[in-house]
Amino acid sequence: MAADPRGVTMVRYRFGEPSLTVWQKIWHINWLFVLVLCATAGVGFGMLYSAASGSLDPWASRQMVRFAMGFAIMLVIALIDVRIWLRYAYLIYGFGMVLLIAVELSGTIGMGAQRWIDLGVVTVQPSEVMKIALVLALARYFHGASLDDVKSPVYLIIPLFLVAMPAALVLRQPDLGTALMLVLGSGAIFFAAGVRIWKFAVLIVLGLGSLPVGWQFLREYQKQRVLTFLNPENDPLGSGYHIIQSKIALGSGGVFGKGFMQGTQSHLSFLPEMQTDFIFTMLAEEMGMVGALGLMGLYTLILIYGIYFSVGCRNQFGRLIAIGVTMTFFLYVFINIAMVTGLIPVVGVPLPLISYGGTAMLTLMIGFGLLIGVHVHRDVMIGRRASGSDIV
């Protein structure tokens, strides 16, 4: 079985067993964390119920079905040995890249932003696949990196490419929000892996310096969004409308909100996209700052769990996956809330577990599955040189 003998010797289990049984794994699942996830999703169902003016149709019921499916997938993934992910990390990444390129090619035929690809059975959004795949690939790469390796700039060339290729393709789609999440999420992994801080500083300076160049590559509507963000009152009925109405809804909600299903901005159609990207606004309008902070509290709890899982994991691969997933989740939360509160330009990022939509839900549930899996397999020791091929 042992293709790499050194790897085999490095694998150890806390209780001395060769592996955990399924029941042991289920026992190791942090069910409190799962409860927090369900509670958060429950808030989402409630808001979708309100968005439909007190009806499960058309959003809440479908969202429940999706969550149930995602929940099952999450549990299955949580039970899969992390070493499997280690083994297939690059393969999954490669698969994601193929899909991205495929969508890029078909996208040139189609009109406008092409983000979806039809695999015959299901339609997938390759950029969503890539959010997970990139975390896996980078985790695997840095799992094999010693502290000295990480200090060498040359060593960072490959992972930078791993990030840059999908990010560039996603940006071309064009999907600024996802590209941003890919880059920032990866940055967290780089950072946690120990890449020197001054290198980030250099990168940020370079990034800021290339902003004018990057501006040229932005699509007209993306430029418009940025400009509108900088001064939404310039165009109150045009592109600034979303931000203005969202701020009005938020502000008018006050501390305690207007009451469940009583949001005037939401229910009288002043608020756009209230069941998807602007659902936080609706929550804050109806439940007030208390409700908004309550939801943010749930999110913080999820983040704390994520960091706790990552720090408590005994293998670097698992730690990096956990921090990558946690960071991605944080970016969802932050970008969405910052967007609807007018802190950053409008970028189409949904509010995790709350916004209506299947793709993001699936990505998140897979991510949470990995997170739980990392925790379940927290005591699996994986050697730096291991490739995971010694398992199964």
Partner 1 sequence: MHRDSDRHKLFNRRTAMLAGGQLMLLGALTGRLYYLQVVESDKYATLADENRINFRLLPPPRGRITDRNGLPIADNQQNYRLLLISENTLSVEGTLRALERIIPLGESEKRRIIRDVKRNKSFVPVTVRENLEWPEVSQIEVNTPDLPGVLIDVGESRDYPYGEEFAHVLGYVAAVSHDETTDDPLLDLPGFRIGKAGIEKVHDLALRGSGGNSQVEVNAFGRVIRELSRQEGLPGAEVQLTLDAGLQHFAATRIAGESATVVVMDVRNGEVLALTSSPSFDPNLFNQGLSTAEWNDLVNNPRSPLINKSIQGQYAPGSTFKMVVALAALERGVITPDTQFFCNGKMTLGDAEFHCWKKSGHGIMDCLNAITQSCDVYFYQVALRIGIERIAAMAKRMGLGEPLGIDLPGERGGLIPTPEWKKSAIGSSWQKGETVILGIGQGYILTTPLQLATMTARLANGGVVVKPHLTPQVVEPGSVEAQFTPQPAESIGLSPAHLTLVRKAMSQVVNDPYGTAFRARIIKEDEAMGGKTGTVQVRRISKAEREQGVRKNEDMEWEERDHALFVGYAPVDNPRFSVAVVVEHGGSGSSAAAPIARDVLQEVQRLDITMPTSSAIGASDASSENALDDNGGRPPGRNHG
Query: Which residues sit at the interface with partner 1, rule CB under 8 A?
Result: 146-147, 188, 191-194, 245, 247-255, 264-265, 268-270, 284, 288-289, 292-293, 296, 299-300, 303, 307, 310-311, 316, 319, 323, 327, 330, 334, 337-338, 341-343, 384
**C-beta of 274: minimal distance to partner 1 in Å?**
11
Is 42 or 194 the residue whose CB approaches partner 1 more closely?
194
**Closer CB to partner 1, 70 or 177, in the complex:** 177
Amino acid at 360: A
Tell me how far, at minimum, the Cβ of 45 lies from partner 1, in Å.
23
Q: 117 - beta bridge partners?
A: 124
What is the nearest approach in angstroms of partner 1 to the Cβ of residue 73? Answer: 26
Q: How far is the CB of 22 from partner 1 (least distance, A)?
A: 28
DSSP string spanning 336-369? HHHHHTTSS-----PPTTTSS-HHHHHHHHHHHH
The per-residue DSSP string of 232-256 comes to GGGSTTTTTHHHHHHHHHHHHHTTT
Q: Are 182 and 132 in contact (CB under 8 A)?
A: no
Q: Which is nearer to partner 1, 79 or 192 (CB)?
A: 192
Task: Tell me 155's DSSP state.
Answer: G
91 versus 311: smaller Cβ distance to partner 1: 311
Pairwise CA distance, residues 361 & 240, whole Å: 28
Closer Cβ to partner 1, 20 or 386, answer by number? 386
Taking the complex as a whole, the smallest distance from the CB of residue 107 to partner 1 amounts, in Å, to 33
In the bound state with partner 1, the residue whose beta carbon lies nearer, of 173 and 239, is 239
Residue (106 or 146) nearer to partner 1, CB: 146
CA dihedral of residues 371, 376, 382, 386 (deg, nearest 10): -60
> Smallest Cα–Cα separation from 82: which of 328, 315, 384?
315
The least CB distance from residue 357 to partner 1, in Å, is 21
d(CA 353, CA 276) in angstroms, rounded, equals 11
Instruction: Give min distance, CB of 206 to partner 1, in A.
Output: 20
Q: How far is CA 185 from CA 23, 67, 133, 331, in A?
A: 33, 24, 12, 7
For 3, 36, 127, 140, 295, the CA distances from 383, given in Å and listed in that order, are 13, 33, 31, 11, 39
